[in-house]
Amino acid sequence: MKKILITDPIEKTCIDILEQSNFQVDYRPGLKEDEIVGIVSDYNILIVRSGTKVTKKIIDNSTSLELIARAGAGVDNIDVNAATHRGIIVMNTPGGNTLSTAEHTMALLLSMCRNIPRANNDLKSGIWDRKKYLGTELFGKKIGIIGLGKIGKEVAIRCKAFGMEVLGYDPMITQDTAQKLDVKLVSLEELFKHSDIITVHVPLSSETKNLINKSIFDKCKYGVKIINCARGGIVNEIDLLEALNEGKVSSAALDVFEVEPPIFPNDLISHPNVIVTPHIGASTKEAQEKVAIQIANQIVEFYKNGILIGAVNAFSLEKNITDEIRPFIELATTLGKFFSQIHSGNVNVIKLKYFGSLLHKYRETLTAAFLIGFLSKKITGSVNFVNAQILAEETGIRVVESIEGEHITYKNLMTIEVDDKGYFNLLSGTVYGTKELRIVQINEFSMDIHPSNYMLLYENVDRPGMLAAVGNILAKNDINIAGLSLGRTKIGEKALTLINLDSKLATQVIDEIKMINGIGNVFNIEM
C-alpha cells in the first residue's frame, strides 16, 4: 500500500478519493521543514499546495519518495531539479484554477482602473467625494498579455468582452490560435511600447525572473498600469516602487509577491496607487474543490493504470503507452544494458537512429528507456524515466536522435552508434511479431540474438573447432548453453559468436576462454 503525506490544507474530497483507492493518507498540514525531513522517508507520495516549500533538504532525505504532487499550477515552491536528480516525479494540476485566476485578474483590473478600494475605504470612513477618484475606462484601451497559456487566454477573452484591444506575447502560440482569440501577436518590445495596461501570466523561471524591471519601465508608455497575478519576482518590486513614485507607472495591482508573506512595513504595499491581495487568485470554493479532486484522480490514474498526467519533469511518460510500443521500450532498455557492456571505450556522444513510424512517434520515451538500461550498468543509484537524461548529461554523455526513413529489411529498427575509440561501436535491435526481442546487428555482423540474463560474446577466427573449444571450457565448469547466434564477414575470416547461458560466468572461466588461440574481445554480459 502506497503511503501519502499531505502537508498543506486541502479539500476532504481529495483524501476520500485516495483512501477509497487503497492509499494510506496522513493529513498533517502545517509541518515545518525539519518536521517533514524527519518523517518523509516513510512516504511514497507527498501532496502540497503553495504553503509547503519542498526543499532539496527534504528531497535528499526522502528515501522512498516517488511522487511530489502539487495541488495547483505553480511548482516554484518545489525544488524540481533536486527531485528530478533523485528520479522523483513532480506533478501539478494544470488548468485547475484557470478561471479563478483569470477572474481575479479582471477584478484587480477593474478595481485599479476605477479606484474602487480607496473609494470604498473613504465612504466607509464617512467621506463622500465623487470628484476625487477619476477612473479610466477599459473600452478602447490596449492591454498587453504576457503569456497566452490557459489563464492568459481566458483573460484575453474577458478583455475583448470589455472592448479592449489585446496585444499578446507568447513564443509558443501560433498565429492561427491568436487569430481565433482576436489577439494581436507582437514582440515583447512592441507590447511594452504600446500597452496601456500590462498583465503577466507566465511561470517564474530564470528567464522570467525580473522580466519587468527598470529598463522595461523606461520603454513603456507614461502612466502604464501593471498587474501580476502569476508569481512574485516576475515584476521587480524595487523598480516598480520607483516607477510608481516617479509617475511612470500610474497604478499597479498585485496578488503575488517575491517574499510571501511580505516583510512589513512595506512601502510598495502601502503605496496609495497599489492594490494588493494576499495571493488569493486561485482561492475560490470551486477552484479549491477542482484541484483537490484533480490531483487525487491524477495520482490514482498513475498508480492504477500507469497513465501520467500533469508531470513537469517526466515528459517521456506523458504519452499513453500502448501495448504496441511496450515491447520496444523493453527492447530499448535491453539494448542500453547490452551496449554498455560491449563498448570498451569512453562514450561522449551516443547516436540513436529510429527507423519506422511507430518508433518515430515514441522516440523520446525510447531514448529515455535506452539511457535507463545504459546508465544502470555505469553508475550507482536509481535511474528511471525522470532522471535518465539529466544523469546522462552529468556523466558527460550527449545523446543525438535522428528519425530515419523505412529500413530496407525491418519495419521498425533501433540503432545505437558511437564514434568514440573502443569496441563494439554499433548495435541494432527490433521486435519480431508482438513481443520477441532481437538484436540483429553488432558492428558489421548480422546476428539473430534473443537476449537472455547471461550471455557470452566474443570474436574469433572463422575456422573449425573454435566453438568446440569454448564449449569444452563451459562444460568443464558445468555451465549449460541455452542458445547460439553466429555472424561472419567472409568464410575463413573474422566471425562473431554470442552464446546464451543458463548461469553466470565466473571470472576464471572468462580468463580461460580468452586464452584460446584465435579468440579476442571477450565480453561477459549480464542483464
The residues annotated with a catalytic role in the active site are 231, 260, 279
C-alpha cell at 254: 498585485
DSSP percent split of the chain into helix, strand, coil, nearest 5: 35, 25, 40
Do the beta carbons of residue 397 and residue 369 sit within 8 Å?
A: no
Name the helix (H) or strand (E) containing 436.
Answer: strand 436-442
Instruction: Describe the strand order of the beta sheet including 454-461 as a list of residue ranges.
Output: 481-488, 494-501, 454-461, 519-526
Q: 481-488 and 445-449: which strand pairing?
A: unpaired
Q: CA 495, 501, 506: angle at the middle one, nearest 5?
A: 95
Name the burial class of residue 102, with classes exposed (0-12), middle (13-18) and buried (19+) by CB atoms within 10 angstroms of its CB: buried
* Cα–Cα distance for residue pair 109/103, rounded to 1 Å: 10
Q: Residue 425 corresponds to which cell in the numbers above? A: 561501436
- Residue 80 class from Cβ within 10 Å (0-12 exposed, 13-18 middle, 19+ buried)? middle
Q: How many CB atoms lie within 10 A of CB 108?
A: 25
- CB atoms closer than 10 angstroms to residue 69: 25
Give CA–CA dist 527/517, Å, rounded. Answer: 28
Distance, in Å, from the CA atom of 136 to the CA atom of 463, rounded to the nearest integer, reads: 93
E strands, 328-397, are 349-355
CA dist list (Å): 171 to 91, 148, 174, 355: 24, 9, 8, 31
d(CA 343, CA 350): 11
Report the SS3 class of residue 304: helix
Instruction: Please give the C-alpha separations between residue 513 and each of 162, 223, 454, 501, 516, in angstroms, as whole numbers.
Output: 83, 84, 16, 14, 6
CA dihedral sign of residues 84, 87, 88, 94: positive
Short-list 232, 228, 211, 210, CA closest to 274 = 228
How far, in Å, CA of 263 to CA of 258, rounded?
Answer: 10
Name the grid cell of 54. Answer: 519542498
